[in-house]
Structure 1
Amino acid sequence: MATSSNIEWTEATWNPVTGCTKISDGCKHCYAATMAKRLHAMGNPRYTNGFNITLHPDLIETPLKWKKPRRIFVNSMSDMFHKDIPLEFIKRVFETMEKASWHTFQVLTKRSEYLIEIAPHLPWPPNVWMGVSVENEKVMYRIDDLRKVPANVRFLSCEPLIGPLEKLNLTDIHWVIAGGESGPGARPMEANWVRSIRNQCQQQQVAFFFKQWGGVQKHRTGRILDDRTYDEYPTSQQDYVQV
């Protein structure tokens, strides 16, 4: 459950927890649920429970064995702040991230209310980037919740982007990822939605990463926006770098 990744904005995934439940519009075509169903059918022992929340304590210290620094997406097959995950287990995951200071850990949640509830009980070393998913205007409150978290880097994942996001307040936000939904039944994303997010990032000096146009076959649509790729990453709370 710790592998290299094809996700454009990270280098590896680490899944000490698998499984989740749907809570908002962005979950409708959850890629992780689809993958878990496939892995369960294949007899993968990590998915004996299908997509139900399953803890994998034997994987908690895996990043400590990786000596080469890398960006690691934490729980790509779950949500670290699902209420069915015990706080003590979450603390152990954060302790590993703190120990593995040579890596950068990217944690993403849709459960911002629980995030801010337990954030005071967790260590927040500078190598832990904390993000929230913002797929449409209904969940923009997650941005305000994220601002309350003492992470060194805070980011938004606007994917799948299924509606416009105007009047974004990016104060104390350091990175924004945008991308369209992909796979069977993918909902369309309008180009102007992406341009608006890019422009707002530029106006507010926030790093912008365009992941994909998406669609049923995302490899056909690519990730070029207005004749270029956007591969910006945050370098600190004040700066961003174009890669």
Structure 2
Amino acid sequence: MSPVPEPPGRTPPGERAENLAERIYLQLKQDICAFRLLPGDRFSEGDVAARTEVSRTPVRQALHRLQREGFLTVHFRSGWQVVPFDFEQFEELYDLRIVLELAALRRLSERQGQPNARLAALMATWLVEETAREQDGLRVAELDELFHCELVAATGNREMTRVHREVTERIRIVRRLDFSEAPRVAATYEEHAAILRALLDGRGEQACLLLREHIEQSKAAVRRITLQRLQAARAGAAPCAG
């Protein structure tokens, strides 16, 4: 059977398909992060195509990219869904993350003095003057995720790194809320710098204490912000893509 042709006139003239996919991706990601699309909301490719007035191909590309990043899931019969928020699972995943990252720090502290390109790159990002700090919340969220992933990857343990990345992907959608408030951005720079300095100075147990406190504070902030956003969104407008 021949493929069903896509509706004509959807793609704005002169705009390339990859640019369309990028635009839709950014728009949907912003809708999710701003809670205009709520955890658990369902929609179809057709809903998004109609709302954005483009063909389904770039919509599908954008949706699959968001799926890979952990923002969406897809269901065979009922379309796409914003990843639901499960507080119990959230707590369990954060607990697992703490175990993995503390184990990584202890391994790294045992190798004090050995060259490590990953740690050197983290120092270049986080041990900077206040005027050189990134201020965009989404960009800081990406750098924060990279900080924690690179700490684990620096151990050279591929299985530990793989499991940690899987945990990271599953909490990404809510973890990034931690950087929607300016004080949390500043605190992240200070806390990451303190962890790195302790590690590089050979104070391994101090680095572990700082890391645990840092993650616990982040977890508490994310939980608080998530509850506030959910309550405000459910009291306000309906889902934007439904």
The TM-score normalised by the length of structure 1 is 0.25
Greater helix content: 2
From the CA coordinates, give the structure whose radius of gyration is larger.
2
> Could you state the TM-score of these two structures normalised by the residue count of structure 2?
0.25
Bigger proportion of residues as strand = 1
